[in-house]
Every structure is written in structure tokens, then in C-alpha cells.
Structure 1
Amino acid sequence: MPKKGYFGVYNNIEYEVTRDVDNNFLIMTDDPAKVTNDFVDKFNSGVYTKKIKKENLSELYYIKPQAIYKNKKFNVMSNEKDGKVYLGTGDAKLAREFNFDRTDKYYYEKWVPKEDVEIIEERKDIPIEKNR
């Protein structure tokens, strides 16, 4: 599955970024090579976190995986399964054109062969205000 969510660069290393219940910024990873002695594995799950200040990130961005299928863009819904990828759209006209199944009032989904799909990651940069 391609990356999805908030990511940031801290000390020239990319981490997933989240916030805790107190709205503190956390960087997190399950890669032991990215972990220093000030990271914690709070739940003994193999996921290490470190509380940081947002301004200590050199980059912050949101990544949304998308699929190009028959020259149209769709949402990627899940991991690959049996050589297929699960796509979705809220566009009823597009869904009818490609025979997607209606799975919710305004949403349509379909399994398609992986070889018919190009997965891309759309990135939206988020400004970081540095303290002066």
C-alpha cells in the first residue's frame, strides 16, 4: 500500500507525523534504524514515537494515494489482494462509465487488476511557521 497521511522531515529523516491527545506533535516509525534513544515504544508495539515541536520539522506534508485507471483518477481503497487493487470514487458518472458498484449513498468501489493501474502519491505541502 502506498503511503497515506501526514509525514515530515526531522533531522533529514522522513517520519509519519501525528498528534497526541494534548495536541503535541509526534513523529513515529516502526523502523528501528530511524530510532534514537529519545524515542519511546509506549505500548510495546514496535511503533516508536517522539514528541517534537512543529517548527523542528524541515518539511511537513500530506500524502494521498491515488490510482490512474484507464486515464482517470480514483481513490485507492486498500492493499493489493490476489493481484487486484480496490478503487473508489464519489463521482457517479465515472462510476457508471467503469461499472463500479455502489457501496454507500454517494460512493462506488471496484476491484481492478493491478497491472491496469498506476499508483501515484499526491503530496500537499503544509507551511511550517518558524519562531522568530
Structure 2
Amino acid sequence: MTDDRLDALFAAASAARENAHVPYSRFKVGVAIRTTDGRVFAGCNVENAAYPQSQCAEASAIGAMVTGGATGIAELLLIGGGDGDAQVITPCGGCRQRILEFARPNTPVHLCTPSGLRQTVPFESLLPMAFSSDALR
């Protein structure tokens, strides 16, 4: 990567990924969020022997963001997979809904493997026809 902003997000997500608690899947994921006020929050996946009680990296990062008092996602960077992987992973359906709560349709989502950026997509491409707070009004 050559963009300082992306480099900082990648470093934060990489550091979080290294702390992932994945004794069952051995599949580490790290996420970094840059908020609309410029701060960066990171999270990793945390597995549990009772599988439904596990927590995705996106949920961890969003929880840290909200705890820190931030209310908007300006961009999100996700790292998953192995060093040699060319294929990226994307947020699961539940995390896409969590991201929607704090992101805009055009919020950049950077999809990375441990070796670097592979693809950037607007959030709306990950959750078309989303159920949002607008439906509750």
C-alpha cells in the first residue's frame, strides 16, 4: 500500500488480527474502522466453545468505536485469509447489518489479505436493498 491513511488502517487491522482468539477455526480476522471524526478503532474475532457466542472482528471494532463515543464509519478495512491468498473475505450478513447502522452507502470497504489490499468496494454493494432505520420511521 502507498496511501498513508490506508497503511494506518492496515497496520491497526493487522495488529488486531494477531490478537484474534481462534482456537477452533484457526481463521484470524482483523478489522480497522476510521470514524467520521478521524479516529481509528480496531477489532478481532473472538471464538467461544459455544459457537453462537463467538464475536466477529467487525462487531468487536464497532463495539470499540461506540464505546469510544464515535457515531459514524468513514471507511473500514478487513483482513482475513492466509498470506498467499488472493481471494478476499467479506463481512458476514450479520456484520453487514451492523456496519449499516453506522456507515453510508458509499462508505469504502477495503478487503485485504495479510499481504495487502486486494479490492475496495462501496458498502452498498455488500448489502443491496438493506433494511435500515429508514424503514422504522
Q: Shorter-chain-normalised TM-score: which range?
A: under 0.3
If the length of structure 1 is used for normalisation, what is the TM-score? 0.25
Which structure shows the bigger proportion of residues in helix conformation?
2
Report 1 or 2 for greater relative contact order, CA contacts < 8 Å, sequence distance ≥ 6: 1
Which structure shows the bigger proportion of residues in strand conformation?
1
If the length of structure 2 is used for normalisation, what is the TM-score? 0.25
